Structure 1
Amino acid sequence: MLTMVLIYIKRNDQNKFIYETCLNTKIDDLAQSLATIYNGCLKVDRICGELEELAKYGTLYPPEILGLTEEQVKELKREDYWGERCIPSGGYDLVKDPIGRRNGKQPKKDMQDLLNKTIKEAKDLISPKILVPQGIRLTMKVVQQAIDLLRGAVMIVYPMKLPPHDVIRMELENIEDLSGTQASLEVIDPASAQLWFCGKEMYRDGKTLRDYVGKIENCKVTIKLSKRGEGPPAREPIMSEEQRKQLMAHAFRKQEELKKLEMDEDDSYLNSEWADNNNLKRTFHGLNNIYWKPGKK
């Protein structure tokens, strides 16, 4: 019987997903699997971001038109050939793209709703804010399911397919070129991905997960994912953000109570027995509980 381990994957101190594996898994295989899932989530986020723009402003201009003004396009006699062919189902409305990346042929309202609904469904499938608190495991199969959802929505709205230069089509066909982009800095090469446990690197030299986390059955561990050369990640904080807020709130309440005591001018408590400095002395001399009774002389 294999002993399963729940791994909470973090990247830059942020929870990304939960992965389930066994203690006999080799660190090399684990690192490749985790990096592949992480990169898949990044791909879903990139496609969703571009689909939001597609729903607003239509397909992407070809490279020879990108960056040119309308006057320059007319002067150079450039044409958006693919924009004329790749028309959304049901027609479109002209809405100018403020940054000039897309041709402004906005899909109709029902097609926009379809795209936006699918975007939300795909994001929810991989969202750490949904999966991690509920303890739901993430696999590459689920990531692929999110990508397939997005692909299906694009095929419904654009049955003639998107232009070959549109980044959404390139992402869906796995021929995207991220060189020189911010997205390329986020992607982790599975062949060189590093894993860190308790502040120490988990070396990909044939060791298994058991060699680092021990033999405890059905345990939960936190592992951080990083690129080669980034160095060790920051250690886990002593307390969580919620615990820190509770501690600060408690300290604030105590401070307010002390302020109220200092402002209180009622000193009647000084007449109490516990506030009498001579109480201990009288106790030793047997002078407590002495009452005078008036009588005859």
Structure 2
Amino acid sequence: MVQLHVKRGDESQFLFSTSVDVPLETLTQQVTAIYNTRLKVDRICSEFPELVDHGVTLPPNMQGLTDEQIVDLKLKDEWEERCVPSGGPEFNKDEIGRRNGHAPNQKMKEVLRNTMEEAKAVISKKQAVAGVCVTMETVKEALDQLRGAVMIVYPMGLPPHDPIRMELEDQEDLSGTQASLQVIPVEEAQLWWAAKELHRGKKLQDYIGKNDKTKIVVKIQKRGQGAPAREPVVTEEQQKQMMMHHYKRQQEVKMLDEVEDDSHLHSDWSDRQALKRQFQGLSNIKWGPR
């Protein structure tokens, strides 16, 4: 199987295993789906700590308001009584005013935290360093685990305006956010290898040959952004090793120079005739008047 090291720019993303005869249309769709789903899992995980600490999200018209303003405007959270965590809530006021403050109890918090850590481990970029290939099934499994944890803690579900529920139901609105710049629509996705675009109408073997034990670096990006930067001749780790070797060599040369230094031969203590002159009374002779 061919191993693809997928990158976005210079940033490593994940490893993906495929065959040389796969159509590039299929490969592009598979890689893009994994890439975008990993982003979704990451966005959900980023919301979990707030859910753990402060409960579900307030309605948009109540977010950021003080308690006095909510009373003055006669606003009410209709979902507060419906979306109660299992085992009862523990009040922890959200100073930002984004969530209702009815956090889950400690046991339910652990369920959410543990599931979040497991999901983050699945999508971690360290998987590429460890040589672990990612599949759509493993990423979907992480997404399902997050969904299951939410259902355990909130049996009645989350409010429809909660970002976690919107993500799980594919109803998220990322317009105007930094996250929207990271997502790549499948129809706009391009794969590049060795400064060449992998055109969808061909197969992978048309570019890399029929060797099924190949490892290549593939870069994913949106159409119209031009060719991505080429991979450096040496990796960052190799460059560090080279610099360390160069520094070590410099230190060795410096030590050798110190060992070969013969300036000590001009010192008094190294004079072989010093003892003889001392016995003859010639060691402290000064020429000139006293």
TM-score range, shorter chain: 0.7 to 0.9
Q: TM-score, normalised by structure 1?
A: 0.84
2:286 aligns with: none
Contact 2:4 2:16 in 1 (8 A): yes
Pick from 225, 231, 251: which aligns with 1:230? 225
| Partner deviation per Cα, 1:255-279 (whole Å, 9 max, x = no partner) | 3344445556841899xxxxxxxxx
Contact 1:17 1:132 in 2 (8 A): yes
Q: Secondary structure at the match of 1:8?
A: strand
In 1: Cα distance, 2:192 partner to 2:233 partner: 18
1:245 aligns with: 240
1:83 aligns with: 80
In 2: Cα distance, 1:169 partner to 1:189 partner: 21
Pick from 187, 192, 202: which aligns with 1:191? 187
Offset at residue 119 of structure 1 (A): 0.5
Q: Secondary structure at the match of 1:215?
A: coil
Pick from 247, 254, 270: which aligns with 2:249? 254
* Counterpart residue identity of residue 209, structure 2: G
Q: Structure 1 stretch 231-240 or stretch 155-164: which is displaced more? A: 231-240
Q: Secondary structure at the match of 1:191?
A: helix
1:274 aligns with: none
In 1: Cα distance, 2:143 partner to 2:214 partner: 31
> Are 2:17 and 1:20 equivalent residues in the alignment?
yes
Q: Structure 1 stretch 115-124 or stretch 244-253: which is displaced more? A: 244-253
Kindly report which structure 2 residues correspond to 1:141-290, keeping only aligned pairs within 5 A, or say none.
141-204=137-200, 206-260=201-255, 266-267=261-262
> Are 2:112 and 1:101 equivalent residues in the alignment?
no
Count of paired positions: 265
- List alignment gaps of at least 5 residues for structure 1: 271-297
* Counterpart residue identity of residue 138, structure 1: V
Offset at residue 6 of structure 1 (A): 1.5
Contact 1:33 1:190 in 2 (8 A): no
Pick from 72, 76, 94: which aligns with 2:69? 72
Offset at residue 200 of structure 1 (A): 1.4
> Are 2:135 and 1:132 equivalent residues in the alignment?
no
Q: Secondary structure at the match of 2:90?
A: strand
Q: Secondary structure at the match of 2:114?
A: helix
In 1: Cα distance, 2:152 partner to 2:212 partner: 47
Q: TM-score, normalised by structure 2?
A: 0.85
1:51 aligns with: 48
Offset at residue 213 of structure 1 (A): 0.7
Q: In 2 relative to 1, CA 70–263 (structure 1 residues): closer, same or farther, beyond 3 Å?
A: farther
| Partner deviation per Cα, 1:19-70 (whole Å, 9 max, x = no partner) | 1222221212211111111000001001111112100110001011113232
In 1: Cα distance, 2:250 partner to 2:214 partner: 41
| Partner deviation per Cα, 1:166-194 (whole Å, 9 max, x = no partner) | 11111111122212221111100111101
Q: Secondary structure at the match of 1:145?
A: helix
Offset at residue 153 of structure 1 (A): 0.5
In 1: Cα distance, 2:264 partner to 2:221 partner: 62
In 1: Cα distance, 2:57 partner to 2:116 partner: 18
In 2: Cα distance, 1:211 partner to 1:92 partner: 59
In 1: Cα distance, 2:139 partner to 2:96 partner: 31
In 1: Cα distance, 2:213 partner to 2:166 partner: 41
In 1: Cα distance, 2:260 partner to 2:204 partner: 65
Q: Secondary structure at the match of 1:117?
A: helix
* Counterpart residue identity of residue 104, structure 1: G
Contact 2:92 2:103 in 1 (8 A): yes
